[in-house]
Amino acid sequence: EDQVTQSPEALRLQEGESSSLNCSYTVSGLRGLFWYRQDPGKGPEFLFTLYSAGEEKEKERLKATLTKKESFLHITAPKPEDSATYLCAVQGRSGNTGKLIFGQGTTLQVKP
Amino acid sequence: DAGVIQSPRHEVTEMGQEVTLRCKPISGHDYLFWYRQTMMRGLELLIYFNNNVPIDDSGMPEDRFSAKMPNASFSTLKIQPSEPRDSAVYFCASSFTGGHGYTFGSGTRLTVV
């Protein structure tokens, strides 16, 4: 069964204090790993897709990396507007391949 | 594009009543997904459609839940009868074959009292 575990559940940072969020996964053949951002009262917003180990994607202060067992979302010099819940999801190659399995998310709070 | 449109945004209903949630996917997208989000269980996939055909409904909690997609631009999720434990935020999302990730709607917050 495909599974996604995110850690930590919650993270508090001071503005400018860099850190990383972890996403560990088990899947029968990875088709893609996805990162989303969710603000309170809104739907998840797509950030990145990673397809193979060693791949990296960047967007502003965020960088996502992928290994065969986990993905990291690195946040460099975060700002208060980066505060949100970050969700990781995997899409497998076996069975019904259209669906994404989500982790529980990491709630990030960045204080000024 | 207006994105994925869900209605209503909020729904408060009494236990035992029928509830219908609505979704309009992005034009041209051939996949549509219904998810439920709670604090305890996170985002759970309920059912998804490809080209209007249900592909996987293994996440539908029980027979009280049903979903339809009569055409490419509209889907409904119905709960009959509703129960307090159905209280959650229900999201609809759509994507297209070969695309990267889903686009989610803003969700419907359902409260059953």
Q: Are B110 and B19 within 8 A, CB to CB?
A: yes
Q: Average pLDDT in the B60-82 region?
A: 96
B100 or A67: which leads in pLDDT: A67
Nearest to A98 among B55, B104, B106 (CB): B55
pLDDT at A1: 80
Between vectors from CA A44 to CA B31 and to CA B33, what angle results, nearest 5°? 20
Question: Which residues of B fall within a CB distance of 8 Å from A103?
Answer: 42
Instruction: Report whether pLDDT(A54) > 80.
Output: yes
Q: Average pLDDT in the B1-28 region?
A: 95
Kindly indicate the confidence band of residue A28, based on its pLDDT and cuts at 50, 70 and 90: confident
Distance between A43 CA and the closest CA of chain B, angstroms: 5
pLDDT mean across residues, chain B: 94
Cβ density class B27-48: b for 16+ within 10 Å, e for less: eebbbbbbbbbeeeebbebbbb
Q: Are B19 and B79 within 8 A, CB to CB?
A: yes
Instruction: Report whether pLDDT(B78) > 70.
Output: yes
Question: Which residues of B fall within a CB distance of 8 Å from A102?
Answer: 42-43
Nearest to A98 among B50, B91, B103 (CB): B50
Tens-digit pLDDT profile for residues B17-62: 999 999 999 999 999 999 999 999 999 999 999 999 999 999 998 8
pLDDT at B69: 98
Instruction: Report whether pLDDT(A35) > 80.
Output: yes
Question: Rg of chain B's alpha carbons, rounded to an integer?
Answer: 13
Pairing of strands A84-92, A30-38: antiparallel
Q: Are B8 and B109 within 8 A, CB to CB?
A: no
pLDDT at A34: 95
d(C-alpha B20, C-alpha B76), whole Å: 7
pLDDT at B100: 66
